[in-house]
Chains A and B, each alone.
Chain A
């Protein structure tokens, strides 16, 4: 494969220049192979394949929402070559057997690379530690109880200490359950107006503070997932200045949408943690600009339409995001707010998450797997949920016009998605 004439942005190597990229046998090589197929990338960006470390693929057990096949096709359509899937499946991914099942399914049906996380606690119950050693041996790249948050600080402390011997980072969904209680949206003016139970920022802030102290105490990295609150950003900034091994991610909806949208009572805006205020968005964006938050991810959380078409407080939390996240990040951070450069945004979607989870991805170094995303940050398009490759349709971005989109997604030297042809891999 010969990717010709593009602006190559590879933050892992500090590269930003027009050059050609060559691929042979699924590996990035220095010289043009014989009989290489040419992809013209003139006027486009050639980046390391994008990585999303927060995705719900819903298999095993919830295949009416998403499958590994459909979720990874949506990833490919969004420009992602690697996804990290969350363990809140049925059964919970808290055993090597379930991890092996997911890996096997990914081998036979996935369009992009799939890495697994394992649960911190058995059944996500927050009580007993999962078999962390066995999960490490099975190849999980991190531990998380995502969707839930370990409430018992003693259990969490032991899990972090125990995980350290395997070098497995902890990723935490930060939510103090007695404060969030039965909350379904941000606590504030709009929950007051709408009469919906509030889920206050305080419930996130308290666990972020807990995780900072635990990371400092143990010296082991903790990653705070989907930060939604301004005060959490303040806490993280101060902790990172002190050198605490704590990281954080931001999701597209938490930098683009506010809680006022819930006045329609449309459950497609119901997500956990909830959409918050303009002030929260502002601080998350500042946190991205100043290096407090270093990773971008979707929290792609598919649900069937019939599950969302119920009373607001009964609807499940979550929204799909793989196909729109790159566009939202580019639209908000590059075009509208101009707080990050294109190489910085690409770093947050490639080398930064790869470094956190020690993945051999997110780089265009010679000899690396040829995972490549070709994108155009200026391309104008409108997202239509009916064209989604995900099995679900629970997006808040239907009909929204964006600037910026992937043009081609290449996994291990194979073109799996193309803006003209769509999904190009074989149907397995």
Chain B
């Protein structure tokens, strides 16, 4: 088995299929920790993790915080408003200060694409990307892949449709990276302004109608649609979006019985997904949240120098050992 040799996790584009499987396999082992009564292991005891969220986020920050606590790390949360960035300090200077306080791991969320990589190249601490602009959200891509593998037993050959604001979505980019590397067939769905042709160079198919992908999809992943001012020139409005691309109840009836319905949250009920569909039996939206914790534990553990954990249950055929 390949060794893990990365200090940082900035983008799934930086990892090959074997490295991605190492994280998923380790996450399987860590998921067991969360199911126990005593939800804590000493893997990161004595290590300090800083949650450095320059762009606000609640769910991802809490997930990283819990993941670190379950690994027995000490955790500090820093937000942009609580840091000196508002006083004009540069990102690099703020991060160097955190490192001078002997932070071992820095988890960063930032609105600028490339900001995690920028810090990773300049710091000795491990840098974990918790979302950088429209670039990547690697742990989200990992937890989505983990959930698909857990529910369907494999990723290779699975047909995944990702619907919505692809152009501005870091979730979409991380999903595309991991799913194509592990052999899934990915289709991006949305209006041409939000799903430009340039995405074809990433090895995916593009569709401009949700109806043409419903029957074939093994997984349908609905991205949150935003209609703030900066998006107004990209599509006419939420109403038209829902009528063209929303997963309504009638559309959901064309999905196969086993199709997984995913969403990275937070959900706009009635916009990209009908409320009943979000709560239906095929929805794995809350499983994604649970799995996020396991995946983040695996990432923090590996980037701190932990050895990959191979879970015996997963080394059986199909799930992990096939090359893609």
A interface with B by C-beta (< 8 Å): 187-189, 191-197, 264-265, 306, 309-314
B134→A195 contact, CB < 8 A: yes
A188→B198 contact, CB < 8 A: yes
Q: Which residue of A lies closest to B118 (CB)?
A: A265
Is B199 an interface residue, CB under 8 A from the partner? Answer: yes
Set B114, B196, B201: member contacting A265, Cβ < 8 A: B114
B interface with A by C-beta (< 8 Å): 13, 90-92, 110, 112-115, 117-118, 132-136, 170, 173, 196, 198-199, 201-202
Known contacts: A309-B90, A311-B112, A311-B114. The answer to whether A195 contacts B133 by CB under 8 A is: yes
A400 CA / B135 CA spacing, docked (Å): 29
A311 CA / B118 CA spacing, docked (Å): 7
A363 CA / B202 CA spacing, docked (Å): 52
Beyond A192-B201, A192-B202, A193-B202, 12 additional contacts (C-beta under 8 Å) are A187-B198, A188-B198, A189-B201, A192-B196, A192-B198, A195-B132, A196-B114, A196-B135, A265-B118, A310-B90, A310-B91, A312-B118
A-B pairs with the 4 shortest C-beta distances? A195-B135, A265-B114, A311-B112, A195-B134
A193 CA / B196 CA spacing, docked (Å): 12
A187 CA / B167 CA spacing, docked (Å): 12
A139 CA / B199 CA spacing, docked (Å): 51
A265 CA / B133 CA spacing, docked (Å): 13
Residues of B within 8 A of A314 (CB): 112
B170→A195 contact, CB < 8 A: yes
A312→B201 contact, CB < 8 A: no
A311→B91 contact, CB < 8 A: yes
Set B92, B117, B173, B196: member contacting A309, Cβ < 8 A: B92
A264 CA / B11 CA spacing, docked (Å): 12
How many inter-chain contacts with C-beta < 8 Å in the A-B complex?
A: 59
17 A-B pairs in the complex with CB atoms less than 8 angstroms apart: A187-B198, A191-B198, A194-B114, A195-B134, A195-B170, A196-B133, A196-B134, A265-B113, A265-B117, A265-B118, A306-B90, A311-B112, A312-B114, A312-B115, A313-B112, A313-B114, A313-B133
Q: Which residue of A lies closest to B110 (CB)?
A: A311
A195→B136 contact, CB < 8 A: yes
Give A267 Cβ to nearest chain B Cβ, in Å.
9
A189 CA / B173 CA spacing, docked (Å): 12
A189 CA / B13 CA spacing, docked (Å): 14
A312→B92 contact, CB < 8 A: no
B201→A195 contact, CB < 8 A: no
A142 CA / B70 CA spacing, docked (Å): 67
Residues of B within 8 A of A197 (CB): 134
Give B149 Cβ to nearest chain A Cβ, in Å.
24
A262 CA / B115 CA spacing, docked (Å): 13
**Residue among A194, A309, A311, A313 with the most chain B CB within 10 A?**
A311
A314 CA / B118 CA spacing, docked (Å): 12
Give A87 Cβ to nearest chain B Cβ, in Å.
28
A313 CA / B198 CA spacing, docked (Å): 20
**Residue among B90, B118, B132, B136 with the most chain A CB within 10 A?**
B118
A314 CA / B173 CA spacing, docked (Å): 22
Residues of B within 8 A of A306 (CB): 90
A311→B115 contact, CB < 8 A: yes
Residues of A within 8 A of B136 (CB): 195
Residues of A within 8 A of B110 (CB): 311
Residues of A within 8 A of B92 (CB): 309-310
A191 CA / B113 CA spacing, docked (Å): 10
A309 CA / B115 CA spacing, docked (Å): 11
B198→A189 contact, CB < 8 A: yes
Q: Which residue of A lies closest to B113 (CB)?
A: A195
Residues of B within 8 A of A309 (CB): 90, 92
Give A202 Cβ to nearest chain B Cβ, in Å.
13
Q: Which residue of A lies closest to B115 (CB)?
A: A311
B112→A193 contact, CB < 8 A: no
Residues of B within 8 A of A264 (CB): 117
Residues of A within 8 A of B196 (CB): 192
A195→B173 contact, CB < 8 A: yes
Give B212 Cβ to nearest chain A Cβ, in Å.
22
A309 CA / B110 CA spacing, docked (Å): 16
A349 CA / B13 CA spacing, docked (Å): 42
Q: Which residue of A lies closest to B166 (CB)?
A: A192
A265 CA / B173 CA spacing, docked (Å): 17
A195 CA / B113 CA spacing, docked (Å): 6
